Amino acid sequence: MAVDKEKIKEHIRGILLAIGEDPDREGLRETPDRVARMYEEVFAGISYTNDEIAAMFNKTFEAPKDRNKNDIVLVKDIEAFSYCEHHMAIMYDMNISVAYIPRDRVIGLSKIVRIADMVTRRLQLQERIGADIADVMEKATGSPDIAVIIEAKHSCVTARGIKNRESSTFTTTFKGVFNEEKMQEKLLMMMKK
Ligand SMILES: [Zn+2]
């Protein structure tokens, strides 16, 4: 289902009233509409299942024949942001690395970035962003060997409550041969370059 912008406008106006604001003052008059348009953009991924995202970005090419069977493809430093499902607060300075071991087909590299971008456009947990990217990658490439490493700051930690400004969270999602220690070492070496 597409985002219902009229409903969002109505509710944001209600929130403004509830926090003691005047939604009709000049600076806020257009805010419900702006928030609705922002939500449409940043939550676009909610309208699609992982299967649908995989079908959108599954452009693949024949893999080189003389490939070593454990050769890793790594796309690192994908910049992203998302919103945590517990506070609807932004997760920012997000850095995502996605690795996989191609079978018969290799996926277009820009598609990996697009997959990461689309699954972050949901109300998320950092742990689930990794799981979703791995799931979509597996569906799009046909490879069960996937690794996703994510670092991010959570504004619900840095800007409220405990206000731990510099803390960031790392998560890993390892599937297939990436559960083996020697493959994780190889991957970490590549990421340090
Ligand atoms: Zn949160």
Q: What is the mean pLDDT of residues 144-148?
A: 98
Q: Give the chain's mean pLDDT.
A: 95
163 CA from centroid of ligand 1 (Å): 12
Cα–Cα distance measured from residue 118 to residue 138, given in angstroms and rounded to the nearest whole number? 15
Distance CA 193, CA 184 (A): 15
Segment 44-49 shows an average pLDDT of 97
171 CA → ligand 1 middle, Å: 15
Rounded to the nearest angstrom, the distance between the alpha carbon of 165 and the centre of ligand 1 is: 14
Adjacent-strand bridge partners of 74: 99
Question: What amino acid positions are annotated as catalytic residues?
Answer: 84-87, 126, 154, 156
Q: Is the dihedral of CA 100, 104, 110, 112 positive or negative?
A: negative
Distances from the Cα of 182 to the Cαs of 100, 159, 178, 185, in angstroms?
15, 38, 8, 5
Q: Are 60 and 105 in contact (CB under 8 A)?
A: yes
* CA 8 to ligand 1 centroid distance, Å: 21
Extended strands (E) in 2-89: 60-62, 73-84
- Whether the per-residue pLDDT at 1 is higher than 80: the answer is no
Model confidence band, residue 173 (pLDDT cutoffs 50, 70, 90): very high
Q: How far apart are CA 36 and CA 139, in angstroms?
A: 32
How far is residue 189's CA from residue 106's CA, in Å, rounded to a whole number? 22
Contacts of residue 112, defined as CB under 8 A and 6 or more positions apart, other chains included, come to: 75, 78, 98, 137
pLDDT in tens, 102-135: 998 999 999 999 999 999 999 999 999 999 999 9
* Ligand 1 centroid, distance to 16 Cα (angstroms): 21
Cα separations (Å) of 27 from 9, 13, 24, 110, 173?
15, 13, 8, 39, 43
pTM of the model: 0.94
* Residue 68 burial class via C-beta count within 10 angstroms: exposed 0-12, middle 13-18, buried 19 and up: exposed
Q: What confidence tier does 166 reach under pLDDT thresholds 50, 70, 90?
A: confident
